[in-house]
Structure 1
Amino acid sequence: MSEQDAELQLIEEVASFTHDPLGFALYAFPWGEGELANHEGPRTWQAETMNTIGDHLSNPETRFQPLLLAIASGHGIGKSADMGMILSWAMSTCEDCKIVVTANTENQLRTKTWPEIAKWQRLSITADWFKPTATAVTSTDEAHSKSWKADAVPWSEHNTEAFAGLHNLGKRIVLIFDEASNIADKVWEVAEGALTDKETEIIWLAFGNPTRNIGRFRECFRKFKHRWVTKQIDSRTVEGTNKEQIQKWVDDYGEDSDFVKVRVRGLFPDVSDAQFIPTGLTDAAMKRQWTAADVSHAAVIIGVDPAYSGADDFVIYMRQGLHSKCLGTYPKSTDELISAKRIADFEDQYKADQVFIDFGYGTGIKSIGDGWGRTWQLVAFGGGSTDPQMLNKRGEMYNSAKSWLKLGGSLDDQETADDLSTAEYKVRTDGKIVLEAKEDIKKRIGRSPGKGDALVLTFAFPVTKNTNLPGERGGNKVATDYDPYV
């Protein structure tokens, strides 16, 4: 057989696996030889993942519907190898296939994820069809070198063009997130724009250890579970993992410890490593309801978080005892008179005993309120703390909210719950707890935690219930013997 005939036969045989990733993997890689001498084929979970993709694409009713597949697992199961085999199949069996791969950090992507992907491309029977570099795998056919490629793209919530522009009408798109727990929510949201091409094979794979019980990767298994095919893989069930070391972890930390849940069982932790308010507290609060009679004894307090930028919302929150309610969210406005009017209307409607406004962008609003005879109070998140544990006022208010949740506080809004659980913390050498700043949270998750901040402002200072006669205003005082939580 001539070299040309052999190449034509290879093309025909590879084409037969267009919708069969597992068949391609068994055919295309030198199992039992060289680097794969100790392997007879993909691991069981890898084969199942490939079959999930194959079944989706083989069904005419689902082929052109996006396949969203999220896999949370313990350590050592071979996630990068699975990505490498799937990428090689996707590129080899669809002309002008377009792939983007990203990871939690650029270092992870450059030193771990991408080298493993390049390794499997090198081992593939179609290795000569593509050229791997440090940042891409491209077709060796010059006519297709720009349209038939896979790119390693570090994510950034400030530079999402690579994800926003991931379109490939009538062909195939594959988007791979590695260590997906730590990829910003904003990147997930922008990436969803790639799911709109008609008559296109679209596969979105999210892999990772479930290190955070907040964020979009977590919500693949909860809020968005109806849209995602999810798998949670225990490292102990996977061939080739170090069972002896895993058992040591279980013996040392316990089967139900967060350490074992994340690193072995593929389960999300009760509390993320640096999470200040556990998700369990906010989840429980979302299930509670209090009647007006239950909280009638308590002061009504309003917290206001003005919008910092055009992308942020202006948020007004009310809390009375263990009850809380988001009164409104509004786009940023340069008209402070409108913002002040909204606050004043809610203050009158709920007969609020006090209004606390974030100092950062609230000074103008407060000045307008002063002119109307309102006793609104500015609160500096970076100001001093009366809580000896916390470094600043922000930490003090979040710690008060945490105690309130433990006592039975109720929440009415999932985004507020997410905001409260998003903040992370560090402990300084002097023992002071430093809560993550709003700006840092925005960088990490791609949006402002405005609803959470508006609610915690209601804990800025203790407030007594107004005992003035109807129509009278003012008279509220800090109460030294008042419990601000209930």
Structure 2
Amino acid sequence: MQKKKTLLDDPRWWDFIEKYAYDIGRFAVEVCGMNDIDNQAPTWQQFDLFDLAQENGCRVSVSSGHGSGKTRSAGIIALWHLCCYANSIFMFSSPTMAQLREEVWKEITICHTFMANSEFAWLADYIEVKTESVYIKGHKKTWYVIAKTAPKGKPENMAGKHGDWYMVWVDEASGVADANFGVITGALTDKRNRMVITSQPTRGNGFFYDTHHSLSKDQGGVWDKLVFNSEESPIVSDEFIAEKLIQYGGRDNPEYQIKVLGKFPDRTDIYLNSEAQVTWRMGKSVIGPEMGYGYLICVDVGAGEYRDYSAIIVVRVTGYGDHGEQARRVELVDVPLYSNSRDLTFLSGKILEVYTEYENANVLIDRGGMGVAVCQNLENLGVPVTRVNWGDPCFNNELRKRFVNQRAQALVMLARAIKEERLGFLDQRYQTQLLQQGSRIPYFFDEKARYKIMDKQSMLSEGIKSPDLWDALAFAFLEGAYYTLSEKSRQISQSTKKAQKESIKAKLRASLNK
């Protein structure tokens, strides 16, 4: 029986690799079809990456902002390496693989489909694209592209890959443990082995950070560093940049620096707010009589230990979201309870008492731990309760991309409201506690450039007590913190609107009589 021919037996392949093996840019345009409106031509940033990645033994580190073509580049380079080097291995790695597999494999599939409908259909026939691997037919175990990651604390899972034509691409590299990089780079034993790492620059330490600093070529290291700044990318619209400037709070905001500029943020702080910023909001009013507002009763239930306090606060709120003219405004108007008592019956009774005092008020209660019993007590008494479980992810997909969980979302939006003077403390009885708690909320960014707040156990190890009052205040900024207009607010708003109309009419009559 005659042996089936493989790619190595096809004379066309030898001419192909002579043309493209050291020209990724040409491969992208001619083989993958990146040359028209429907299939975006490579940008100058992508060409910079292609030029570096095609060199034998390359070490390239890319810090990138939104939408600058990093994922498309990954798909093209993986397919190029597979098509141009016999028995080559290309490995993708990342802290979390699902999104990488979906997005990069999508790009590989798009390029492979173009090949199959072009003059390179003969080459496409040798390539098999599967859900978690891409390989050359007849060489499934020796000539392929795969994705692999290591569980936390087990870097040895990344070991075992070697080859003359071996290339590694690590995405979200800022969140990869240094121990993993030790194993990955230890496998690059041939001088032709290549490595590219990409990430949003979420933290100022670690291996990825070092490749842009102490390990970079301009400081005597081996790493070429690139920055894909979204503001400079031809494929990122001006409208998108303008939207993100507003959404993230300006060019000086660390979130904007990371996600748009592709820049390690200029962070001199580890806390969301300073004490001076919180102090400035004491005694300030931020909701005018013409603004329709409602009341929220926010309750953080102590964990059952005397070092944790239960807090009941009443806030007046209007608006939604964290930016724009209708962004949420909050006034702290009352703190009916701040106590380390563990009497849940008393706590439930106090909440009921406050609920009957404020018309149309909505009640939000932390349902974690002992909070479940308080929620049940009030619901049995007929009080509608919104249960807060802020360890859960956000509901809105856009917020999921920005915040690790609802806790981060609420606390970050509270911090922004303070900076933008959309929060005021009318009740100042617990000013000392509010200043201490509000100015000591440590935050950082995870490997996906999402805000993350230090957990309470870690805060305690840093000497930071549980911020119970501040947590309760933050409930007012949760995406699910809805309010109902109070009757008084409705009447004032209607009266104000009526007065405004009469004023306009009077001015119009006066101008006509002149």
TM-score, length basis structure 2:
0.48
> Among residues 209, 215, 219, which one is paired with 1:218 in the alignment?
209
Match of 1:187 in 2: 180
In 2, are the aligned partners of 1:74 and 1:209 still within 8 Å (CA)?
yes
Q: 1:343-372, CA deviations, whole angstroms, 9 ceiling, x for partnerless residues? A: xxxxxxxxxxxxxxxxxxxxxxxxxxxxxx
> Do residues 157 (structure 1) and 152 (structure 2) align?
yes
In 2, Cα distance between equivalents of 1:99 and 1:164 = 14
In 1, are the aligned partners of 2:76 and 2:107 still within 8 Å (CA)?
no
Q: Using the TM superposition, give the Cα deviation of residue 146 of structure 1 relative to its aligned residue in structure 2, in angstroms.
A: 0.7
In 1, are the aligned partners of 2:64 and 2:230 still within 8 Å (CA)?
yes
Q: Using the TM superposition, give the Cα deviation of residue 113 of structure 1 relative to its aligned residue in structure 2, in angstroms.
A: 3.0
Match of 1:84 in 2: 75
Match of 1:74 in 2: 65
> Do residues 30 (structure 1) and 21 (structure 2) align?
no
Q: Using the TM superposition, give the Cα deviation of residue 40 of structure 1 relative to its aligned residue in structure 2, in angstroms.
A: 6.1
Q: Using the TM superposition, give the Cα deviation of residue 69 of structure 1 relative to its aligned residue in structure 2, in angstroms.
A: 0.5
Question: 1:129–1:242: structure 2 CA closer, same or farther, 3 Å change rule?
Answer: same
> Do residues 21 (structure 1) and 14 (structure 2) align?
no
- Equivalent residue of 1:42, what SS? coil
Question: 1:457–1:42: structure 2 CA closer, same or farther, 3 Å change rule?
Answer: closer
In 1, are the aligned partners of 2:172 and 2:199 still within 8 Å (CA)?
yes
Q: Using the TM superposition, give the Cα deviation of residue 229 of structure 1 relative to its aligned residue in structure 2, in angstroms.
A: 0.6
Question: 1:139–1:425: structure 2 CA closer, same or farther, 3 Å change rule?
Answer: same
Q: Using the TM superposition, give the Cα deviation of residue 178 of structure 1 relative to its aligned residue in structure 2, in angstroms.
A: 1.5
In 1, Cα distance between equivalents of 2:148 and 2:205 = 23
In 1, Cα distance between equivalents of 2:309 and 2:179 = 33
> Do residues 267 (structure 1) and 263 (structure 2) align?
yes
In 2, are the aligned partners of 1:426 and 1:435 still within 8 Å (CA)?
no
| Counterparts of residues 350-369 of structure 1 (less than 5 Å) | none
- Equivalent residue of 1:265, what SS? coil
In 2, are the aligned partners of 1:21 and 1:51 still within 8 Å (CA)?
yes
Q: 1:238-283, CA deviations, whole angstroms, 9 ceiling, x for partnerless residues? A: 12212212123225522222122111111012349xx9579xxxxx
In 2, are the aligned partners of 1:99 and 1:149 still within 8 Å (CA)?
yes
Number of equivalences: 288
In 2, Cα distance between equivalents of 1:16 and 1:387 = 70
Match of 2:171 in 1: 178
> Among residues 223, 230, 234, which one is paired with 1:235 in the alignment?
230
In 1, Cα distance between equivalents of 2:407 and 2:246 = 28
In 1, Cα distance between equivalents of 2:156 and 2:87 = 20
In 1, are the aligned partners of 2:53 and 2:196 still within 8 Å (CA)?
no
Q: Using the TM superposition, give the Cα deviation of residue 387 of structure 1 relative to its aligned residue in structure 2, in angstroms.
A: 12
> Among residues 245, 255, 265, which one is paired with 1:250 in the alignment?
245
In 2, Cα distance between equivalents of 1:254 and 1:458 = 31
Q: Using the TM superposition, give the Cα deviation of residue 90 of structure 1 relative to its aligned residue in structure 2, in angstroms.
A: 0.8
- Equivalent residue of 2:210, what SS? helix
Q: Using the TM superposition, give the Cα deviation of residue 385 of structure 1 relative to its aligned residue in structure 2, in angstroms.
A: 6.5
In 2, Cα distance between equivalents of 1:458 and 1:80 = 39
> Among residues 124, 132, 151, which one is paired with 1:135 in the alignment?
132
> Do residues 207 (structure 1) and 204 (structure 2) align?
no
In 2, Cα distance between equivalents of 1:429 and 1:47 = 41
Match of 1:335 in 2: none
In 2, Cα distance between equivalents of 1:67 and 1:387 = 56
In 2, Cα distance between equivalents of 1:265 and 1:211 = 12
Q: Using the TM superposition, give the Cα deviation of residue 189 of structure 1 relative to its aligned residue in structure 2, in angstroms.
A: 1.9
> Do residues 123 (structure 1) and 127 (structure 2) align?
no
- Equivalent residue of 2:187, what SS? helix
In 1, are the aligned partners of 2:93 and 2:147 still within 8 Å (CA)?
yes
In 2, Cα distance between equivalents of 1:387 and 1:68 = 52
In 1, are the aligned partners of 2:65 and 2:260 still within 8 Å (CA)?
yes
Match of 1:312 in 2: none
In 2, are the aligned partners of 1:425 and 1:435 still within 8 Å (CA)?
no
Give the counterpart letter for 2:22 in structure 1: H
Give the counterpart letter for 1:187 in structure 2: N
In 1, Cα distance between equivalents of 2:65 and 2:79 = 24
| Counterparts of residues 42-441 of structure 1 (less than 5 Å) | 42-54=42-54, 56-57=55-56, 66-124=57-115, 125=120, 126-140=123-137, 142=138, 144-168=139-163, 171-195=164-188, 197-198=189-190, 200-225=191-216, 226-251=221-246, 253-271=249-267, 276=270
| Unmatched 5+ stretches in structure 2 | 1-6, 273-304, 312-404, 415-436, 447-457, 465-514
RMSD: 4.3
In 1, Cα distance between equivalents of 2:93 and 2:306 = 40
Q: 1:83-103, CA deviations, whole angstroms, 9 ceiling, x for partnerless residues? A: 111111111111011111022
Question: 1:258–1:110: structure 2 CA closer, same or farther, 3 Å change rule?
Answer: same
Question: 1:52–1:276: structure 2 CA closer, same or farther, 3 Å change rule?
Answer: same
- Equivalent residue of 1:146, what SS? coil
Q: Using the TM superposition, give the Cα deviation of residue 217 of structure 1 relative to its aligned residue in structure 2, in angstroms.
A: 1.6
- Equivalent residue of 2:125, what SS? helix
Give the counterpart letter for 1:205 in structure 2: V
In 1, are the aligned partners of 2:150 and 2:156 still within 8 Å (CA)?
no
Q: 1:34-85, CA deviations, whole angstroms, 9 ceiling, x for partnerless residues? A: xx5434632211111111233x33xxxxxxxx32111111100111110111
Match of 2:432 in 1: none
In 1, Cα distance between equivalents of 2:175 and 2:155 = 16
Q: Using the TM superposition, give the Cα deviation of residue 206 of structure 1 relative to its aligned residue in structure 2, in angstroms.
A: 0.9
Report the structure number with the largest CA radius of gyration.
2
Match of 1:8 in 2: 11
In 1, Cα distance between equivalents of 2:155 and 2:112 = 27
Match of 1:339 in 2: none
In 2, Cα distance between equivalents of 1:51 and 1:428 = 40
Q: 1:104-158, CA deviations, whole angstroms, 9 ceiling, x for partnerless residues? A: 3132223323332333344343322221111111111x2x221111111133234
Match of 2:291 in 1: none
In 1, Cα distance between equivalents of 2:409 and 2:140 = 51
Give the counterpart letter for 2:97 in structure 1: E
Q: 1:197-222, CA deviations, whole angstroms, 9 ceiling, x for partnerless residues? A: 23x41111111222233332222212
Match of 2:327 in 1: none
Q: Using the TM superposition, give the Cα deviation of residue 23 of structure 1 relative to its aligned residue in structure 2, in angstroms.
A: 2.4
Question: 1:148–1:244: structure 2 CA closer, same or farther, 3 Å change rule?
Answer: same
Match of 1:482 in 2: none
Give the counterpart letter for 2:173 in structure 1: A
Match of 2:323 in 1: none
- Equivalent residue of 1:260, what SS? helix
In 1, Cα distance between equivalents of 2:42 and 2:462 = 55
